[in-house]
Amino acid sequence: MTDTLGVSDTAGRTDTASETDTAGRNGTASETADTSDTASDTTDTSDTAGTSGVAAVLRAPQAVRVLVASQVGRLPLSSAPLALLLFARDAMSIAMAGILVGGYIAGTAVGQPLLARVADRWRQPPVMWAAVTVSTAGFALATLRPPPAVAVIAAVLAGVGAPPFESCLRVLWRDLIAERLLQAAYTLDVALQELIFIVGPMVALGGYALAGARGGLIATAVAQLAGTVLFSTAPVVRRWRGTPARRHWAGPLRSAELRLLLAATLLVGAAVGGTEVAVAGYADAHGSRSWAAWLLAAQAVGALTGGLLSTRYPLKDPRRALPALVALMAAGYLPLLLVAPLPLMAVALAVSGLMLPPALTAVFITADGVAPAGTAAESFAWVATAFATGSAVGSAVDGALCQAVGGVAIGFLPAPAIVAAAAALLWYRRHRRQLGAARPGVVTAG
């Protein structure tokens, strides 16, 4: 995912050169990304950017349709791992369950940026249809209870073919709403993603209850297909075309600004993933693993609340505020170190989730600003991949740490430190950009 710093693109631009922000616009529409700390992409702080901003987003023609379709189509992000776990537990073994889940997650990490790159260069519907065909075939193959090696291939196919709803939706917003509403749209999307991790497991469990081990996989595949149909047939999706631009083999990763942003996003994801493992250990120590689901739900409620509050009180310049937002997120994880009794721990987890949507919104807005021309969808996909990869790594590291050291509190220790490191990296990025802007003839994006 990372690349050597300083690679220049085929158009002769370097990573410190000015780049054109053309994220998600139809045809030739473009605008130059502002390079100062008071960038002109700041959002309106009047009512149109607050609560009524969300209402304005939802009133835009087709906005509700593509937003709902994207949420439904993304349910497998949380339902597929559980469905594969339940299937393998009944049909294979617990050890095999971990391999299948890992194969699916690895498949999505590889597939999302590649599919988004094709969409950037062509159109969205053919990419979505081809992707969902591959993914559905993977789920179908898994339901046949094949030999373990074939089951792993099936899980990987299901992940590789997961349609890139997240990145495709985000490049559509500029065609659906006014520029001043983009922050509200991004925040609304990020906040609603919390519902995916609440509803998704219910889809898998419902399918399992109705049709046994295969049922969860079938329900997951049906949800993904339904979301694809509703999304891909929307007129705005069918009209959208990628921006013509000179291409580079590294795509958006040729931008050093974006690579630093992805590194910080990976660290944030690692903190979130590690905290989930720590919560599971905390619940186990308090006598019932089922408490983990309720505690993580409290964190999701906190994130949803934070997202809604940030739409009501939007930031004037999210890109400039990004390091501070991540630093506040690190502070929000500190109360977890107290390992308080259950009711207070639920409150502490809700607090830890508050800053995630505002921070991710600022990340997406920044990615939109620094992405080279014609790479908007792929840039958004890399952000999602960085977060998911970080979450997986964070879970593994935190689990190993808890097992090696023992105790409950140790599981919560890495998160604030990791997020603080992400904030420091973002501060460095901003300082470097300021130094670059001070040099004669050099302008930096983002």
Q: Identify the three-state secondary structure at position 6.
A: coil
Q: Identify the three-state secondary structure at position 247.
A: coil
Any idea how long the chain is?
446
Where b means 16+ CB within 10 Å and e means fewer, 209-224 reads: eeeebbbbbbbbbebb
Contact 137, 21 (CB under 8 A): no
Q: What DSSP state is assigned to residue 335?
A: G
Instruction: Convert the pLDDT of each residue in 95-143 to its tens digit.
Output: 677 788 888 988 998 899 999 988 888 889 999 999 999 999 999 999 9
Which two three-digit tokens encode residue 82? 């559980």
Q: How far apart are CA 106 and CA 116, in angstroms?
A: 16
Instruction: Convert the pLDDT of each residue in 184-205 to its tens digit.
Output: 888 888 888 888 888 888 899 8
Helices marked H in 2-147 — which ranges? Answer: 51-59, 63-73, 76-91, 94-121, 124-143
Ranges of each domain in the chain:
1-32+249-446, 44-242
Number of alpha helices (DSSP H) and beta strands (DSSP E) in the chain: 18, 2
pLDDT given at position 29: 36
Whole-structure pTM value: 0.75
Contact 152, 134 (CB under 8 A): no
Q: How far apart are CA 364 and CA 360, in angstroms?
A: 6
**Domain 1-32+249-446: assigned CATH number:** 1.20.1250.20
Fold of 44-242: Growth Hormone; Chain: A; (1.20.1250)
Contact 124, 234 (CB under 8 A): no
- pLDDT tier, 32 (very low <50, low <70, confident <90, very high otherwise): very low
pLDDT given at position 191: 84
Least confident piece of the model among 34-43, 197-206, 373-382, 413-422: 34-43
Contact 114, 131 (CB under 8 A): no
Q: How far apart are CA 115 and CA 92, in angstroms?
A: 31
Q: What DSSP state is assigned to residue 200?
A: H
pLDDT-above-70 percentage for the chain: 83
pLDDT given at position 63: 94
Domains 1-32+249-446 and 44-242 share a fold: yes
